[in-house]
Structure 1
Amino acid sequence: MNAEAAALDADDPLAHHRAAFVGTDTPLVYFDGNSLGRPPRATAERLARFVTEEWGGRLIRGWDEAWMQLPFAIGDRIGALALGAASGQTVIGDSTTVLLYKLLRAALDAQTAADPRRVEIVVGRDDFPTDRYLVEGIAAERGARVVWVEVDTSRGVDADLLRDAVGPRTAVVLLSHVSYRSGFLADGAVLTAIAHDAGALVLWDLCHSAGSVPVALDDWGADLAVGCTYKYLNGGPGAPAFAYVATRHQGGLTQPVQGWMGAADVFSMGPVYRPAAGMRRFLSGTPPVLAMLAMQDTLDLLEDAGIAAVREKSVALTEFAVRVADGILAPLGVRLASPRDPAERGGHLTLSHPAMRRVTARLWEGDVIPDYRDPHGLRIGLSPLSTSFTETLVGLHAVADAVRAES
């Protein structure tokens, strides 16, 4: 398949973007862009320039000149390029966990206040641990009840499962657009409609889709969404997350972490908290300016490429990886633990074999970097802007060698 990989790379209209990322000129194979994206080369220059010119040159004047608006300016750009969201609905804020807490708690409180029967939070049993832990914690905190959706770990929450889970007591549904384990791609429009038909609000977790899979929050009629920026948006380790709140909900939700940055008049330092209008009310503390810088370079690349082309290459990469896995890994007992239909799959695959924990450790020693997820799952994250078909093939051959060695 070497010739096929080379031909696919030669025909790839996004191939030139690969050189924009640090490390792509080395033999290292990176299969973990769905956990932490490679840094763009331009980011080193951007960070250095910020330290010497903006921070070092403008000092505290930078807040008035630009920094106070960065959470909204970058949020709007993410909304336009990656989320299908009109301006004024997306903001950069805290970590994914904190933003999920804020929006989930605010949605639950609003729903229960409007209808005291609505005390249930629906969430998938196989959702990312943070999502599940937050749901349990908020339910205990607010006297609510968790409704678990039991799912096949090689898939995720689909329409039939959600219809069975929601009803007149449902307040909020928390859904992953792309399942962290299997890569299952949910139908955002259909699932949002099902939740709305039951009178519930929907909070979308976009961590594994933003920047890789087209999202259309406004078209779906979505209520709320949160996603991280250090995966396909390459914001760097611990980069802050984004929050989306549809315009129609912004005035009616009370977020629970009241801080000075969310006040109507930030610098009045008044004795009473009055929430700001719009997305500012969902902020709490001082914006993490340094941590917002890196993602802007990937947004430049995403604007140049277009999310449709990114998705097209993502599908091509995962389809190629499945073909290779079927040819060289299936005979070794490795099973695909992700949907085979690319329309039901995001940007990563999971390959299952009892030896995969040891396989992962062996691969890391040889500069092939996937990640491991129980049970027995090796995740192959293929970032469309920085991953080549040849890199994918080389990495999967290394996986085969490691499986043989560890079986």
Structure 2
Amino acid sequence: MPDSAELDAADPLATYRDRFVGAETPLVYFDGNSLGRPLRVTGRRLAEFVDHEWGGRLIRGWDERWFDLPRTLGDRLGEVCLGAGPGQVAIGDSTTVLLYKLMRAAVAAQQQAGTGRTEIVLDRDQFPTDRYVADGVAREAGLTLRWIEVDTTAGVSADQLAEVVGPRTALVVLNHVAYRSAWLADAPELTRIAHEAGALVLWDLCHSAGSVPVQLDAWNVDLAVGCTYKYLNGGPGSPAFLYVAERHLGTLTQPIQGWMGAEDPFLMGPSYVPAAGIRRFLSGTPAIVGMLALADMVELVAEAGIDAIRDKSVGLTDHVLEIADELLVPVGVEVASPRVAELRGGHVTLNHPLMREATAALWERDVIPDYRDPYGLRIGLSPLSTSYAEVRSGLESVRDVLAGLTG
């Protein structure tokens, strides 16, 4: 097995770790796919924003930069991380709200076209928010949910999707990386299958954006949503992003009509007229402060390169599997993620009946993974802020904690 120190010495992205707050401490952080570490530069940016851009420019900031920031930062995010051309990505609202907007818009478009399509397709192990929002949209629009049963150690395959889509399918909602297993879906193939059935497709990119290369335009994706506080390090509650393919911008109508998405936001007229382009999918006043850390991370991803980041991610997760086989599988731990790198996103889930108790004990030791039922310890690795030595140190602690719990 490669030595962790040797892997760090050979890592071309190793120096990026120094740019993150807390990376110099002995704490082991295995939850970068839930909340990324902040960048050091972001503290200075926030202070400067308060002192000068907010404190100095005050309301003038809206005319000078803030009003367009959801679109300009969206364009940059699309360019660097999403494979999306200009005018198709915007930042704003939470992931839940954006999922609702796009699901409801897609369903309404199908109904208005008179297609007779009455089903939303999704899988049983999809991230809970996706399932909850889809359930609400289905009830609101008089549709039904069509479920794909999946292995919790894997995800939706092409054959499984092909079996359930058809003339009744209005919308297919899929996770690019499964939150539990890290299964990396074949997005272009699944999109093609859904389109052949006449359905629209909405991809949840929360566990891939900033870690796994995405090519929304090339894959012919219709709609996508993702959060920005995981691999994009936007901070707690940072606003999510949405993607609407250019071909749909003139036909989809978003359901939460607010002043920021109006044709003339400052007219304050008696009726709502949607703006042209991606801005029509905005609703209320955007979270400008919440976009600042995201902007820093997008530029860091651009500097490092998303392909190099993916290479490091694969290296880290491969290292987890190697160490798990050495230290943890012999004591009853099961790997609940794909072992083939091409089928795996940026985390690895390790199952054991005592993982809930182990997670609590690990947190007391400053080793921070997270827990997912059933019995899953999720090792989430943010490539630019995680070292190979950190991986080994953390997994040795997992071994020690399990040994203590099992006597």
TM-score grouping bracket, smaller chain normalisation: over 0.9
Q: Which TM-score applies when normalising by structure 1?
A: 0.99
Tell me the matched-pair count. 406
Cα distance in 2, alignment partners of residues 78 and 149 from structure 1 = 31
Question: What does residue 195 of structure 2 align with?
Answer: 196
Shift of 1:130: 0.4
Question: What does residue 274 of structure 2 align with?
Answer: 275
Instruction: State the SS of the aligned residue for 1:220.
Output: coil
1:113-124 correspondence runs (5 A): 113-124=112-123
Instruction: State the SS of the aligned residue for 1:294.
Output: helix
Shift of 1:12: 0.5
Residues 356-406 of structure 1, C-alpha deviations (whole Å, 9 max, x = no match)? 000000000000000000000000001100000000000000011111111
Tell me, yes or no, if structure 1 residue 373 matches structure 2 residue 369.
no
Question: What does residue 297 of structure 1 align with?
Answer: 296
1:225-236 correspondence runs (5 A): 225-236=224-235
Shift of 1:325: 0.2
Question: What does residue 334 of structure 2 align with?
Answer: 335
Q: Which TM-score applies when normalising by structure 2?
A: 0.99
Cα distance in 2, alignment partners of residues 115 and 401 from structure 1 = 61
Shift of 1:247: 0.3
Cα distance in 2, alignment partners of residues 5 and 65 from structure 1 = 48
Tell me, yes or no, if structure 1 residue 97 matches structure 2 residue 96.
yes
1:5-404 correspondence runs (5 A): 5-404=4-403
Bigger mean CA deviation after superposition, 110-119 or 76-85: 110-119
Residues 206-257 of structure 1, C-alpha deviations (whole Å, 9 max, x = no match)? 0000000000000000000000000000000000000000000011001100
What is the root-mean-square deviation in Å for CA atoms of aligned residues? 0.7
Cα distance in 2, alignment partners of residues 211 and 165 from structure 1 = 31
Residues 153-193 of structure 1, C-alpha deviations (whole Å, 9 max, x = no match)? 00111101100110000000000000000000001100000
Shift of 1:115: 2.9
Letter of the structure 1 residue corresponding to residue 380 of structure 2: G
Cα distance in 1, alignment partners of residues 75 and 15 from structure 2 = 27
Cα distance in 1, alignment partners of residues 14 and 284 from structure 2 = 40
Cα distance in 1, alignment partners of residues 85 and 249 from structure 2 = 14
Letter of the structure 1 residue corresponding to residue 57 of structure 2: R
Residues 297-339 of structure 1, C-alpha deviations (whole Å, 9 max, x = no match)? 1112101110000000000100011000001000010000001
Instruction: State the SS of the aligned residue for 1:123.
Output: strand
Residues 50-93 of structure 1, C-alpha deviations (whole Å, 9 max, x = no match)? 00000000000000000001101111111011100001000001
Residues 192-215 of structure 1, C-alpha deviations (whole Å, 9 max, x = no match)? 000000000000000000000000
Unpaired segments ≥5 residues, structure 1: none
Cα distance in 2, alignment partners of residues 74 and 336 from structure 1 = 38
Letter of the structure 2 residue corresponding to residue 168 of structure 1: P
Identity of counterpart residues, as a percentage? 65
Unpaired segments ≥5 residues, structure 2: none
Bigger mean CA deviation after superposition, 178-187 or 112-121: 112-121
Cα distance in 2, alignment partners of residues 128 and 404 from structure 1 = 32
Cα distance in 2, alignment partners of residues 298 and 213 from structure 1 = 15
Cα distance in 1, alignment partners of residues 304 and 29 from structure 2 = 21
Cα distance in 1, alignment partners of residues 333 and 114 from structure 2 = 49
